[in-house]
Amino acid sequence: MRLATATTRFCAQQLPIGLLLIAFACSASAESATPPLRLRMSFASAEPQLWSGAISTSPGQIANEQPLSTDPLHVGSLWIEKGVLQMAYRHPARRGVVDFDAAAPRDGVVRLSLNTGPTVRETEFSLAELARGKPLQRQIDGTSVTIQRAPSDRLRIEWPSATRFFAPLETCEYRVSVDPPSQTKPTPLELTAVLRRLDEEEPVWRSDPIRFEPRINQPTTHAIKAVLPREEGIYEFHLQVQKPAGFSRRFFPHGDPPPLVERRFQVLVFDRDHPPTAPPSDLTAWRVVQDVDFAEGRLRDRLPDWAAWRRSGWTGQEAAPTDALPPAEAGFELPAATEPGVATWRGVPLALPTNNLPCLVEVTLPAGSEQLVGLCFVEPDSGGTNTLSGRPVVAAPTSWTTGEAGVCIARWLSWPRTREPLLVVSNPSVEQGARILAIRVRQPPEPDKRSTAQDLANSNDKHRQVLLDLRSNDLLADFGVPLARDEPSGVTYADLRSAWTAARRIADLVEFQGATGAVVAINPRGAPIYTSDVLGLTPTHDREVWFDGAADLPRQPFLPLLLGEFERRGLLLTPALNLAGPLPRLERMALHDPESVLVQPTGTDPTLYHPLSPIVADEAAAALQELLDRHRDSAALGGVALTLDERSPLLLNDGDRTGIDRACVDRFLASIGARWPANEPRSRESHAAILREKEGQRWNLWQHQQLATLHARLDAIAAGQADTDRSVPLIRLVDRVALAAASVSPLVEPTGESVSSLPSLTGLGLDASAAIPNIARLIGIAPPRPLRLLAETIALRQFSDGLASNSSAASLVSPTLSYRIAGVGSSNAVGAAGVELTVSAPVETAGSNAVGLSSTLAGGLPRILIEAGPAANGWADEAATRTRRLVASMPLSTADSPPATVVEDSVAVIVCPEPAGAMVVAINRGPWPQRARLSINAATRCRVSPWSAGSAIAADRAGDEWCRPGGHVLDIQLDPHSSAAWSFSSKNVSLTGLRLETAPEAAAALRQTLDQLNNRDRSARRPYPRLANASFETLDANGNLIGWANESGSLVWPSTRPSAAYDGSSVLRLTANSNDSSAASDWYPAPATGQFALVLQARGEGLEESATMRIDFQLRDGATTTRTLQGTDLYDQWREVVFAVDDLPLDERPMRVRFSLLAEQGMVEIDSLEAEDLMLPLDYYAEETRGQKFALVRMTHAAEAALAEGRLDDCRRLLDGYWPRFVLQNFPASAKPAESLAAPKTPADPVEKEAAEAAPSVAERVREYLPRWWR
């Protein structure tokens, strides 16, 4: 189709003179002033450099800088001051690139003043040579400097609007400034503009050629005007400047000369009134497009043509060839991985009817298993290289709903890029194999028509929000969007189509899961997804500026696209702002006055912003104000979230070291009418000491007051001006686990002054009281997961155990598992080994969608519920989807009509008043079915209807939709973690009674679990075999120890004396020298228990008293735990040394053991290492673990009492706690039969004995917690 306006046709055919006049007017030459040159300057060095200096023009000035570094640490390193581009790197870099406009005559120069060391070097570049397109290069003290004309600068565009989004049939007008390369023989040139739908050859519009005479250093300007198509999509303008076609076109079909200059850019035709049809939530509406038949032929022979799998070892680590698979009904096995971090896998080729629809992958697994199954798509990118497509996931089907015949089905929503993707099914577990019974692929039906845009008026004020937590570092990669490819460099990058595709897929996921919106990070990795002056210009998420450096078109920000897509679908978007990342103005301030903005100006963390600094507070307020100024009017803006983590300047992010700088201390002293003593020295150490000793209480209160003032200021910005601005909810997202690890000051409440309404600085949540009126109540869902995959540490779980279930903070811990798929082929691979794909995937249990939702609702009705985990990662759960829609349909309560809640065991019933009636909701948060009989009293005759299908109502008259005044009984059957609801047409409805009938198997299952827990041998020690060569007996041919590295002077050799070794013939010997003598083990995976203990034998010889030996447990990310032994502790005889930790991460990240000796003389020998992954059985740590043992025994007693009293849900929650699960998973069964704690027994463990003696009655158990003198 070719579109053209009638005016254009008429002028071209009937009015040639008028056309010449118009062309003359449009092609008027530029003004006498020389237009600026767009230049690109890059710096490169073999070693990281702290560059500083300035870029200027003589004469003229610099303008419109665009830093091109994607490292957020370099934000603020380049800025313009009085027409000069200043440069000052606060963090070392190997490369730096910047684009800028040089507004100067062509006979001028660009002057660079560069400081790379003790001296400042200056050099100049000729603008005349740069204008001709010649790159210029200089070498300055090891730094290579290159400057050249930026891409697309010869075709500059004057764009009249602030966006590249258009409505269907809207007119697109812009002007093009042409500065073609100089020619040896000046000839007329032609400018043509073509509009095509992206990836299609046939143009939808083409301009008539515009002929002009080029002029040296005087660009000519021409107008382009096109009516855009009616159909929504991404379209590309292609501008070309070339010589007019001669006889070659007449005789040769492809004889046109190549273009002298060309440029492409994209625009979006966006139909706000007709959004696309979302994927149906009803899974029966999805059509089956492929059933994978594992018995049919060889899967290897049916792989897509693009993959060189056969010659690149595509089978990975499979146990058997593909053609030796068992029958189709038996599925196939994936054995356990042979080493951590490398998964066994199998490729499943798919053949899809179309690639523009989502896929629902159904994997059938045996029910009740604890296996891990990874799913991901591997497809060729735009450059032909096979890569991961979209977000990989790992399923742990422990709690999935059991299907027919003892199987469970996991359903995963994803978006392949092509019609022939390869589905890679993997098993990253080293403990257990995985069995796949069947794989089925579904797609939704082709939409036959577009829907109508939804009305969002006041939706965030009158309805509850159910949001998916989609905060990610790279949403575009998570949703597998297509990428553009720069042909000269071969680099792929996200363009406007990528952003638009991601926005549509995010909205599809939200609608598919039954949510009302989503939370997205607007500055992931320190780079904003919208045009921001406060957050910086780092092009991490908009790399089009690398390949189109003219900087004359509006950027393609992702946030406005998301808001537009959400608005037309009736969804709400909550941008999450994290102020912990580098901010340009604060980074520049840190160069000159670091104490004013940094907590540790000279410490180990030079990027931690000062939460009590007025400058930091101003920048935080400016960031929020800028975001709301630009997007407050969008109907899709449901709120703004502030991410509060351990680095956030909105909390006391560094504990006792926060605020001990001179300026902050002086402000505090002035507030209490005091001054620093004249005779006292001033340093950060002296400030901290005096503040803690003399003014601790008032100092803590002052810090909290400063933060309270800042939060109140942010709330006022969100509330806006009452007359003109729409109030926007301000949500605090708190990662409770991460904050509990931070060193934070306690909350202090002096007499007469209460700060309980202030944001809690302990990391345990936020108080949403009336003192902070604009905080939306928030509940984050952290569903239960397999124990070995939890991300928290043991110490932090002790914090989280005491958190209130209705805390307004979000616990958004999402553990990930990283592993490699070895042997995956690529079209660019060389050799038979292929390439390796690194997968970092969230680990989820699909059933935990409903688990978390039902548990949350039973604890209270939130105004805003943010759900992290399986739903955000694409796992489908019909019960959870129904629950989300139920929550979204429940009206907000008011102070005059609060909801009434009745809880009985695992069932909660909520009576929620509506504007014209009432809603009764029954929720089962337990894992077993419940029969519930609800006694309802209606004061007046009213109409009742079930909210969802399948809710049976057994009233006085079956099937009657009207209730007479009086009492009625609703007899319902609630499935595990399910809900049911009814709407009444009268507000005068109350709940008078609730009776439950729990399935008998529930108590039997709890009894069995308790017996298993009581029968565990908690004194059993367990070796950890991953530490290689712990006995020091395996040596290589040179006599060096295998598995251990000689770091600095350590020597390992076989003992020459029979009695030297404690066990065997070899020892690890550290010999004193002038430096630290050390040896370290090879890296090995940290224990999945989070605990690691090392029992070893050590002896010293000839050591002075001041000598020290260190034992370090080091994680690869830099965290280290140390135990130090003095020289007096190391005798001439062997002694046992025990060192254990219980706070290691549980994701099996690499760690190692390191021994070091710091001494002037002597040596230390180490032998007979015994590594273990359980700390509880160690006698050496009996006192340290005494409290944990008491907690476990008391918890078991409480569970026994709850079971005996019929409180099954209380018993279940106790047994689902950390310590019972830890014992059940990691300790073996005892040799003696299990006994109930209710029966008298004599425990062997003195701790158990003491706890058991205190257990006969509830009163005596309570008395245990009282001081002995009070008993």
| pLDDT for res 455 | 54
Pairing of strands 864-867, 778-781: parallel
pLDDT of residue 312: 33
Mean pLDDT by 10-residue block, N- to C-terminus, for the chain (1271 residues)?
A: 35 36 37 77 91 93 90 87 92 91 93 84 93 91 92 91 92 94 82 93 93 86 94 95 72 67 94 88 88 61 45 34 38 82 85 88 81 87 80 69 68 90 87 86 78 51 77 85 83 89 94 92 85 83 82 85 93 92 88 85 74 92 94 91 82 72 88 85 83 78 83 88 78 56 30 28 29 30 31 24 28 59 47 59 65 67 76 85 85 74 86 84 85 89 73 40 84 85 87 87 87 88 89 80 71 46 80 78 86 90 86 80 82 86 77 89 88 86 78 87 88 81 84 49 46 45 43 44
Q: Which CATH class for the 37-149 domain?
A: mainly beta
Cα–Cα distance for residue pair 323/495, rounded to 1 Å: 42
How many CA atoms does the CB half-sphere of 153 hold within 13 Å?
A: 22
Q: Which residue has the tokens 């020290």?
A: 1108
Q: What is the domain class of 1044-1173 according to CATH? A: mainly beta
pLDDT computed for residue 1074 by the predictor: 61
584 Cβ neighbours under 8 A, 6+ residues apart: 75, 76, 79, 534, 535, 536, 537
Q: Which CATH number fits domain 6-29+154-269: 2.40.100.10, 2.60.40.1930, 2.40.50.140, 3.90.1640.30?
A: 2.60.40.1930
**Which residue from 524, 319, 342 is spatially nearest to 427, judged by alpha carbons?**
342
| pLDDT given for residue 1075 in this prediction | 64
Q: Please, are residues 364 and 407 in contact by the beta-carbon 8 Å criterion?
A: yes
What's the one-letter identity of residue 43?
Answer: F
* pTM metric for this prediction: 0.80
Q: Determine the pLDDT at residue 31.
A: 39
Q: What integer pLDDT is reported at residue 1226 of this predicted model?
A: 85
Q: How far apart are CA 1221 and CA 789, in angstroms?
A: 13
Give strand ranges (E) for 417-491: 422-427, 434-436, 438-443, 465-469, 484-485
CA 1141 and chain centroid, separation: 28
Mapping DSSP to helix (H, G, I), strand (E, B) and coil, where does residue 250 land? helix
Per-domain residue ranges for the chain? 6-29+154-269, 37-149, 896-998, 1013-1017+1184-1270, 1044-1173
Do the bridges between strand 1092-1101 and strand 1135-1141 make them parallel or antiparallel, or are there none, so unpaired?
antiparallel
User: May I ask the CATH architecture of the domain 896-998?
Assistant: Sandwich (2.60)
Query: What are the two backbone dihedrals, phi and then psi, of residue 343, each rounded to the nearest 5 degrees?
Result: -90, 150
Q: In CATH terms, are 6-29+154-269 and 1044-1173 the same topology?
A: no
Residue among 92, 86, 85 at smallest CA distance from 116: 92
Q: What is the distance, to the nearest Å, from the Cα of residue 513 to the centroid of all Cα atoms in its chain?
A: 19
Instruction: Compute the chain's Rg from CA coordinates.
Output: 35
Strands (E), 89-170: 93-103, 109-115, 120-126, 136-140, 143-149, 155-158, 165-166
Strand 287-291 vs strand 438-443: parallel, antiparallel, or unpaired? antiparallel
What does the alpha-carbon distance between residue 265 and residue 235 come to, in Å, rounded to a whole number?
Answer: 8
CA 396/CA 844 separation, integer angstroms: 6
Torsion (CA) 1192, 1195, 1201, 1203 in degrees, nearest 10:
-100
Cα gap 143→1264, rounded to integer Å: 71
Both structure tokens of 141 = 């003290």
User: What pLDDT was estimated at residue 847?
Assistant: 56
Check if the beta carbon of residue 825 is closer than 8 Å to that of residue 835: yes
Composition of the chain by helix, strand, coil, percent to 5:
25, 30, 45
Inter-residue long-range contacts of 690-698, CB under 8 Å, 24+ positions, other chains counted: 691/660, 691/665, 692/656, 695/668, 697/748, 697/750, 698/672, 698/750
Q: Please, is 510 exposed, middle or buried when counting C-beta atoms within 10 Å of its C-beta (0-12, 13-18, 19+)?
A: buried
Distance between CA atoms of residues 189 and 353, nearest Å = 47
What is the token pair recorded at 517? 């919106």
Res 254: pLDDT: 57
Task: Enumerate residues 6+ apart whose C-beta is below 8 A from 570.
Answer: 453, 454, 455, 456, 459
Question: For helices 1218-1226 and 1208-1215, what crossing angle results, to 10°?
Answer: 60
Q: What stretch of H or E contains 1190?
A: helix 1186-1204
